[in-house]
Structure 1
Amino acid sequence: MSPDISVVICAYTEDRWEDVLAAVASVRAQSLTALETLLVVDHNATLLDRLTREYRRTEDVRVLANAGPRGLSAGRNTGIAAARGAIIAFLDDDAVAERDWLRHFAEGFEDPRVLAVGGRTMPAWESGRRPVWFPEEFDWVVGCTYKGLPPGRVRVRNVLGGNAAFRRTAFDAAGGFATGIGRDGDKRPLGCEETEFCIRLTRARPDAVLLIDDRSVIHHRVPTARERFRYFRARTYAEGLSKALVAQSVGASKGLESERRYTTRVLPSGVGRGLRDAALGRPGGAGRAGAIVTGVLTAAGGYVLGSIRARRGGAAFSVLPVPSASSAVETGGPAEDARSTGGEGAAA
């Protein structure tokens, strides 16, 4: 018998209105029916009001206001607190899931040792195709599965939060996602909150198994602004800052365990392929090689600066318990009430 699965989607801007509707529709079209879809709105009263009206008569979709500080981590924690399922899956608000996405997740949880299952996230380039200079080894820059991850269903250190499912007991054991480390609307594109959580989880539960199953596929929209080299540099720099916070929390040996293999094996191979393509006159080869080198250097720079800030006490994040279900505000009443619960709040 398949477990009940709640799906959490966090939304923060009306600019993604059509994306959010498509994400919800893809969940409702799953071959394994979700128990519910929880739309958590991150401190945006107008969007909260609009989504409440959109799904007022839809029994399997609930709209909530983020009950914590601004940001993706607190939004997810709000969804976890309100969820009724034994499994809680997360989907990005600008992604659509393939029909068997949840079914493959559920298969992974047939093993009681498994506490998390991640999937494969494919880029949907707004321009219609991948920029010729953009290396597949850096698809994580746009929130997608990158070249270098092993194929099939394999055990991993951490899953990627925009396409993953967890047992509820994982949050009972390790608490919620850390605030102050992940995404916060349109601010600097930080990340790694799921990395920190997964490492914390396996410390709390050393017997836990975390998997990636590349049959659980979603398609993640990549807007034109994120196809530009300027964003590439900003995101790799922010990743370095985030990794410094993770290393501060869990130690560099664990916090950078997967990254060492990535930088010593995967990336040099990518540079070699790029240079070979350039020598053969293939478009984009030199650009991909250069982008890999730039990405490594900017991430390293962010890590160094983030480590200095962390040692000086100028950068930190908080791990809070998942809020109680009563604090996850559901906007089932009139729109005026929804607006009062979803007003702009202070940033974390």
Structure 2
Amino acid sequence: MDDPTVSVVVVSRDRGPSLELTLVGLARQLHDNYEIVVVADAAGLDAVRRQKLGREIKTVPFADPNISLARNLGTAVAAGEVVAFIDDDAVPEPTWLRHLTAPFSEPDVAAAGGFVIGRNGISFQWKAHSVDHTGQARPLDVDPARATALTPPPGRAVKTEGTNMAFRRSVLAQLGGFDPAYRFYLDDTDLNMRLARARHVTAVVPMAQVHHSFAPSSRRHASRAPRDLFEIGASLSVFLRRHCPEDAREKAVTDFVAGRDRALISHMVAGRLEPRDLRRLRARLAAGIEAGRSRTLYPLPGLPHSSEPFLPFRTRATGQSITLAGRPLSRRRLRAQAAARAAGGATVSLFILSPTALFHRVRMTRDGVWEQTGGIWGRARRDEPLVRATSFRRRLAQEIARIAALRQHKTPSN
């Protein structure tokens, strides 16, 4: 069966450089039928121009700090059968769209969510979770390699992460898209709850993976310590009004505040916040919770059909997949070689391994190269032994095997 047409919507605000890297990854998807929609402020639209993609993708100017409105504006011009969402501080693996959209070949699947990799490029930040009427998520046990289609029990939903999710456009439109009462927090969770209430099926797709860096913003520092909690508090109150029985709301608020307080103290202990920051952030959270209790809640009318025709993006990926590897002394030559091959459309994984026990890290460069660095004897997955006895060749084979399915590399024999 042919790949479904898919519109990838990226919302960007105050993150031009980060958006550029997202676009580098999106331009190299191993998928034949996709378009890219960028909803962005001036900095984001400048990033599109710097990548010389202005005529190849759809752009929607929008600078308001409301991701729900922005996503609805993106959906309004999205003409694909499926609408996928990724954040402007995330980079997709080349097979991301192929895996994420595959479950939609089943007509009863209305949504899909993939796994999210954290800043070291290896450890998972988010896997599979369900969520309840208080917004609290709980891990789900799913097959780690194959998609699992789920219909949650009453009162719960399958949670999709905003930086790695997709919806059948007809269902998304019927449900009214995203609720603008959520400025950025719990917007996707609210949609998950509405999907579950309508008994729609959501697929969890472990092989649909994106790397999420948590770029700094007006809401959080690069360290992930919060700058402000007002909208988080307001969105919590809105969510509870939408989904939680009235007699359970105060306990839900108390539990939430206690959890946030523990997180704030952890940030302070780690040196990311000062005591005066805690006082201010606690006050802002309380003010937001109170404001959300009276925030106007509007009906969500259905979204219209796309206002623009489908604009197919010509992927830069040719389908060729190569690996390059060497020691740090050869990094300049290897990086130049890798960049040249990536410019030609190859999916390139570059391994620069030193004779040390350094932990491994993975990043995608602005040349479109997946670069992994670390020690021959060091950890890649953080649950591995701290040090292992192995050779360069065996370690390289192990790391290629770990990412082979994501980048279509051939698994080497030991």
State the TM-score, normalizing by the size of structure 1: 0.62
Alignment of 1:75-224 (within 5 A): 75-124=70-119, 149-152=139-142, 153-154=147-148, 155=150, 156-183=157-184, 191-203=185-197, 206-223=198-215
Deviation at 1:51, TM superposition (A): 2.8
Q: Which runs of 5+ in 2 are unaligned?
A: 130-135, 151-156, 274-279, 312-414
Say which of 232, 235, 248 aligns to 2:241: 248
Say which of 41, 44, 48 aligns to 2:45: 48
Superposed CA RMSD: 4.4
Deviation at 1:161, TM superposition (A): 1.6
Deviation at 1:82, TM superposition (A): 0.7
Q: Is the 8 A contact 2:115 2:206 kept in 1?
A: yes
Counterpart CA distance in 1 for 2:30 and 2:89 is: 21
What is residue 59 of structure 2 aligned with on the other side? 63
Deviation at 1:192, TM superposition (A): 0.4
Q: Deviations over 1:292-345 (max 9, x none)?
A: xxxxxx99998876564444x2x23544543664499x9xxxxxxxxxxxxxxx
What is residue 37 of structure 2 aligned with on the other side? 38
**What's the secondary structure of 2:16's corresponding residue?**
helix
Compared CA separation, residues 218 and 317, structure 1 to 2 (3 A):
farther
Q: Which runs of 5+ in 1 are unaligned?
A: 131-135, 141-145, 184-190, 272-283, 292-297, 331-348
Larger % of helix: which?
Answer: 1
Q: Deviations over 1:92-130 (max 9, x none)?
A: 1111001111111122212211111011112216xx999
Compared CA separation, residues 41 and 86, structure 1 to 2 (3 A):
same
What is residue 276 of structure 2 aligned with on the other side? none
What is residue 8 of structure 1 aligned with on the other side? 9
Compared CA separation, residues 124 and 201, structure 1 to 2 (3 A):
same
Q: What amino acid does structure 1 have at the position aligned with 2:12? A: A
Larger % of strand: which?
Answer: 2
The structure showing larger relative contact order (alpha-carbon pairs under 8 Å, at least 6 residues apart) is 1
**What's the secondary structure of 1:222's corresponding residue?**
coil
Deviation at 1:219, TM superposition (A): 0.5
Compared CA separation, residues 182 and 4, structure 1 to 2 (3 A):
same
**What's the secondary structure of 2:23's corresponding residue?**
helix
Compared CA separation, residues 248 and 118, structure 1 to 2 (3 A):
same
Compared CA separation, residues 102 and 227, structure 1 to 2 (3 A):
same
What is residue 341 of structure 2 aligned with on the other side? none
Task: Figure out how many residues of one structure are paired with residues of the other and give that number.
Answer: 268
What is residue 335 of structure 1 aligned with on the other side? none
Deviation at 1:56, TM superposition (A): 5.2
Q: Deviations over 1:52-106 (max 9, x none)?
A: 57445653x222223x965211111111111111001001111100111111112
Identity of aligned residues (%): 24
Q: Is the 8 A contact 1:52 1:63 kept in 2?
A: no
**What's the secondary structure of 1:109's corresponding residue?**
helix
Say which of 298, 313, 316 aligns to 2:296: 316
Compared CA separation, residues 71 and 309, structure 1 to 2 (3 A):
closer
Compared CA separation, residues 148 and 157, structure 1 to 2 (3 A):
closer
Counterpart CA distance in 2 for 1:232 and 1:211 is: 31
Compared CA separation, residues 151 and 104, structure 1 to 2 (3 A):
farther
Compared CA separation, residues 306 and 11, structure 1 to 2 (3 A):
closer
**What's the secondary structure of 1:226's corresponding residue?**
coil
The structure with the largest alpha-carbon Rg is 2
Q: Is the 8 A contact 2:8 2:83 kept in 1?
A: yes
Q: Is the 8 A contact 2:232 2:288 kept in 1?
A: no
Deviation at 1:39, TM superposition (A): 1.0
Compared CA separation, residues 62 and 177, structure 1 to 2 (3 A):
same
State the TM-score, normalizing by the size of structure 2: 0.53
